[in-house]
C-alpha cells in the first residue's frame, strides 16, 4: 500500500482544514488597527493563516469576540501547512481596571455619600 497523495489533493485538504478552523474560531489578533483571525491558540502561542495575514512581530492584542484577553509580545516560530505559528515571549492577561496597591476591606463603603 502506498501513502503517496497527489499535490492537488493535499492542497484541497489543507484548504478545507483552514476554512473549518476559520469558521469555528472567534479568536482574533489586533495589530495596529487591523484584526486577523486566529486559527488555533495554545499555552505557548497561536497560529494564523499565512496567506491573509502579514508577518507579525512585537506587541499584539488577542481578543475573543469583543473581549480583550491578552496583551502579548510575540515572535514568529514556524510555517506549516498554510499556518504561521507565533510563540509568546510575554503574555499578560488584560484587566478592565487598574490593579490595586492595597487590599480592599470587604465592608468598606463603595461611594462617598453627600451630607
Q: How far apart are CA 30 and CA 64, in angstroms?
A: 11
Question: Exposed, middle or buried: residue 46 (CB in 10 Å: 0-12, 13-18, 19+)?
Answer: buried
| Per-residue confidence band for 30, with pLDDT thresholds at 50, 70 and 90 | very high
18, 82 in Cβ contact below 8 A? yes
- Torsion angle (degrees, nearest 10) of CA 46, 84, 77, 73: -50
Model confidence pLDDT, tens digit, residues 32-67: 899 998 988 899 999 998 888 888 989 999 998 888
What are the structural domain ranges in the chain?
7-93
CATH number of 7-93: 2.40.10.430
83 Cβ neighbours under 8 A, 6+ residues apart: 18, 39, 40, 47, 48, 49, 50
Which tops the pLDDT comparison, 21 or 55? 55
Beta strands (DSSP E) in the chain are 27-31, 34-42, 45-49, 58-64, 67-80, 83-93
> What's this model's pTM, rounded to 2 decimal places?
0.68
- pLDDT attached to residue 21: 63
Q: State whether residue 11 is helix, strand or coil.
A: helix
pLDDT in tens, 32-41: 899 998 988 8
Amino acid at each position: 500500500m502506498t501513502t503517496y497523495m497527489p499535490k492537488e489533493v493535499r492542497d484541497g485538504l489543507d484548504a478545507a482544514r483552514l476554512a473549518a478552523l476559520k469558521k469555528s474560531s472567534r479568536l482574533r489578533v489586533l495589530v495596529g488597527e487591523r484584526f486577523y483571525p486566529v486559527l488555533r491558540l495554545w499555552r505557548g502561542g497561536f497560529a494564523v493563516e499565512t496567506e491573509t495575514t502579514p508577518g507579525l512581530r512585537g506587541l499584539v492584542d488577542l481578543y475573543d469576540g469583543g473581549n480583550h484577553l491578552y496583551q502579548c509580545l510575540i515572535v514568529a516560530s514556524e510555517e506549516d501547512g498554510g499556518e504561521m505559528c507565533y510563540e509568546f515571549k510575554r503574555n499578560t492577561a488584560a484587566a478592565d481596571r487598574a490593579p490595586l496597591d492595597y487590599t480592599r476591606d470587604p465592608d468598606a463603603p463603595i461611594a462617598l455619600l453627600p451630607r
